[in-house]
Amino acid sequence: MPFYNRERYIKEMKAVLSGEPNFVYFVYGPINSGKTALLIKVFEELPENYRVFYINFRWRYVADINNLLQVLFDIRRGEYQEDIREIITEFFKESARAVKRFKGIPIPERIFDVIFGEKKVENIFKYLEGIFEGIRECGDVPVFVLDEMQSIKEVINTVGKPVIHELFNFLVGMTKETHLCHCLCATSDCLFIEDVYSNARLEGRAKYILVDDLGKEEAFRVYEEFGFGNKELVWDYIGGKIGDMVSLFEEKKRSYKEEEALKRMLKNERARLEWIKLKKLKKREDGKEIWSLLLNFKEHWETTKNQFEEHFDKLLFWIEENVLFYNPMEGTVRPQSRLLWRAIKEVV
């Protein structure tokens, strides 16, 4: 599928990656806004000497440190040197850029066995640092990318502490302190962002890039590419959510008429809300109040978080259910999509 209309973001990301690594970058935004696709697009367009390690934690379930090690590393079996330079050369020999393969960090089986045996998180970081240094020595630029990183928030180390805090300290070390490696973290879980921001002491050490849904003008241009007919109607249903545009495109391929397809999509969102009401809210004492909190969004697309100070726990319910999108940097709350907004207006 072709890639549409993200020039501004692509430029911004490339600018970030062209300089010296100074900050950990968080790429965040509502669900299905195109964060992952954008990252991959940028990596594909980077100069040949960029060595991108892209780890997507959604692709495999990470319950504990053992899974984490398996996901992070690409274990190289057989006769490999222990010299990091040779590991890197071997790894990059087959393809110019690691990003095409999404395989994790190369590690000889023997070294992996040691790290795995001891399960010490610091060993992982020591090895990673060696790899990044090795890449720098070759005159190349390492880029370390963790996508869907909220998936590992529950993972603990051998002394029962969350690995994620150690991980962030490591990333700060790689950027602000040694300027060795570009570090990007992508997530649509903004409560998680707020949590790590306050707990891992990231103030002044991290920056945030919001990859949002498209505005109307940009969206109309993409509608054109997708061959949508009644643009105003499409906007009224799905707005600038690229993921929903892909869905509509697919529905139309299955020979649904545009309006019919939009109605089907809306019906699914309504059903999702009804399901939450029935399955999760009915048994809660404060279920009715949580449900009626959505009334605030009937008229307004976006409100500030402060408006909910007294009912923050109720607001939290909808954020955790991915019905509302919370932007921690701006302190605003809104439905995750225009389609959901429409469903809220009809159902609540």
Residues engaged in binding Mg ion (CB under 5 A)? 35-36
Q: How far is the CB of 248 from ligand ATP (least distance, A)?
A: 11
User: Helix count (H) and strand count (E) of the chain?
Assistant: 16, 10
By C-beta, is 75 or 190 nearer to ligand ATP? 190
Whether the CB-CB separation of 57 and 71 falls below 8 Å is answered with yes
By C-beta, is 166 or 218 nearer to ligand ATP? 218
By C-beta, is 138 or 222 nearer to ligand ATP? 222
Q: 3 touches which of Mg ion, ligand ATP, none (CB within 5 to 8 A by kind)?
A: ligand ATP
314: tokens are 């109720």
Burial classification of residue 347, based on how many CB atoms lie within 10 Å of its CB (0-12 exposed, 13-18 middle, 19 or more buried) = middle
By C-beta, is 131 or 185 nearer to Mg ion? 185
Q: How far is the CB of 186 from ligand ATP (least distance, A)?
A: 7
Q: How far is the CB of 221 from ligand ATP (least distance, A)?
A: 11
Ramachandran region of residue 122, left (φ > 0), alpha (ψ -120 to 50) or beta?
A: alpha
Q: How far is the CB of 94 from ligand ATP (least distance, A)?
A: 26
Which is it for strands 324-327 and 332-335: parallel, antiparallel or unpaired? antiparallel
Q: Where are the alpha helices (DSSP H) in the chain?
A: 7-18, 35-45, 65-72, 84-93, 109-118, 121-137, 163-172, 190-199, 216-226, 231-238, 242-253, 258-276, 287-293, 296-299, 312-320, 338-347
Q: 37 touches which of ligand ATP, Mg ion, none (CB within 5 to 8 A by kind)?
A: ligand ATP
Closest residue to ligand ATP, judged by C-beta, is 34
Whether the CB-CB separation of 232 and 238 falls below 8 Å is answered with no
Q: 287 touches which of ligand ATP, Mg ion, none (CB within 5 to 8 A by kind)?
A: none
Q: 56 touches which of ligand ATP, Mg ion, none (CB within 5 to 8 A by kind)?
A: none
> What is the C-alpha to C-alpha distance for residues 11 and 15, in angstroms, rounded to an integer?
6
Query: Hey, what amino acid is at 194?
Result: E
Q: How far is the CB of 41 from Mg ion (least distance, A)?
A: 13
Q: 6 touches which of Mg ion, ligand ATP, none (CB within 5 to 8 A by kind)?
A: ligand ATP
By C-beta, is 212 or 289 nearer to ligand ATP? 212
By C-beta, is 138 or 210 nearer to ligand ATP? 210
Q: 32 touches which of ligand ATP, Mg ion, none (CB within 5 to 8 A by kind)?
A: ligand ATP
Judged by the rule CB under 6 A, the positions of this chain that interact with ligand ATP are 1, 3-6, 29, 31-37, 188, 242-243, 246
Distance linking the first and last C-alpha atoms of the chain: 37
Q: How far is the CB of 35 from Mg ion (least distance, A)?
A: 5
Q: How far is the CB of 213 from ligand ATP (least distance, A)?
A: 9
Q: 312 touches which of Mg ion, ligand ATP, none (CB within 5 to 8 A by kind)?
A: none
Burial classification of residue 190, based on how many CB atoms lie within 10 Å of its CB (0-12 exposed, 13-18 middle, 19 or more buried) = buried
Paired strand residues for 332: 304, 327
By C-beta, is 69 or 319 nearer to ligand ATP? 319
By C-beta, is 186 or 340 nearer to Mg ion? 186
Q: How far is the CB of 34 from ligand ATP (least distance, A)?
A: 3
> What is the C-alpha to C-alpha distance for residues 150 and 154, in angstroms, rounded to an integer?
9
Chain position carrying tokens 């061959």 = 227
